[in-house]
Amino acid sequence: MIATQYKIALPSDYNMEIIRDRVRNNGHKTDGFEDLKFKLYLITEKGINQNLQNSYCPIYLWKGSNGLNKFLFNGYYDNILNSFGWQNVNIGVPLIDKTTSRIKENKYLFQTKGDIKPQESLNNLKDKIEESIPAIADTEYIVIYNPDKWKYEAFYFINDVDQVKELDGEIYQILYVSQ
């Protein structure tokens, strides 16, 4: 599996209804897309849930590279390029995937980040990361790592932002889940 995300920073006075309308009108177009386990249509809004800026930040979890390649190189990603310009697509590898189709029932995604420090062995690193990330009751989550940067990110599907208010991380609003 492969995870991808692009983060589009928007001006602080940007009308976020434009993004909501975009997702309402087009989100369904990725339903059933080749190799797509899910796409999360995510936003942050300045001043809401302690976010410092407006942004549009979709996350994709791909079952294989064929779907990702089709999305990027067969015209689908052109919609992003035409609307927002050239964007870097962050790539990661899923390490822990505790998600089911129930992720659609959630309103928010909470993200925490961590570094993978140099060490003599990576044996049992998965267990070490799972022990170090926050334990948030009754949540599904996924952990994605990037060995190019030696970092990992944990994403939790939540409905109550009070569960994570005291934790260090970012809260996204989920506008739509495509599967």
Mean pLDDT rounded to a whole number for the chain: 96
pLDDT category at 148 given cuts 50, 70, 90 is: very high
Q: What is the spatial distance between Cα 127 and Cα 124, in angstroms, rounded to a whole number?
A: 5
Its CATH class, for the domain covering 2-178, is: alpha beta
- The fraction of the chain above a pLDDT of 70, given in percent, is 100
Count of Cβ atoms closer than 10 Å to residue 119 Cβ: 9
Side-chain-facing half-sphere of 178: CA atoms under 13 Å:
23
pTM of structure: 0.94
Over residues 33-90, the pLDDT tens digits come to: 999 999 999 999 999 999 999 999 999 999 999 999 999 999 999 999 999 999 999 9
- The pLDDT, as a whole number, for residue 61 is 97
pLDDT category at 15 given cuts 50, 70, 90 is: very high
> Rg (Cα) of the chain, in Å, rounded?
16
- The pLDDT, as a whole number, for residue 10 is 97
User: Which positions ≥6 away from 47 have C-beta within 8 Å?
Assistant: none
In the chain, domain spans: 2-178
User: Which positions ≥6 away from 54 have C-beta within 8 Å?
Assistant: 9, 10, 11, 12, 14, 16, 43, 44, 45, 46
- The pLDDT, as a whole number, for residue 68 is 97
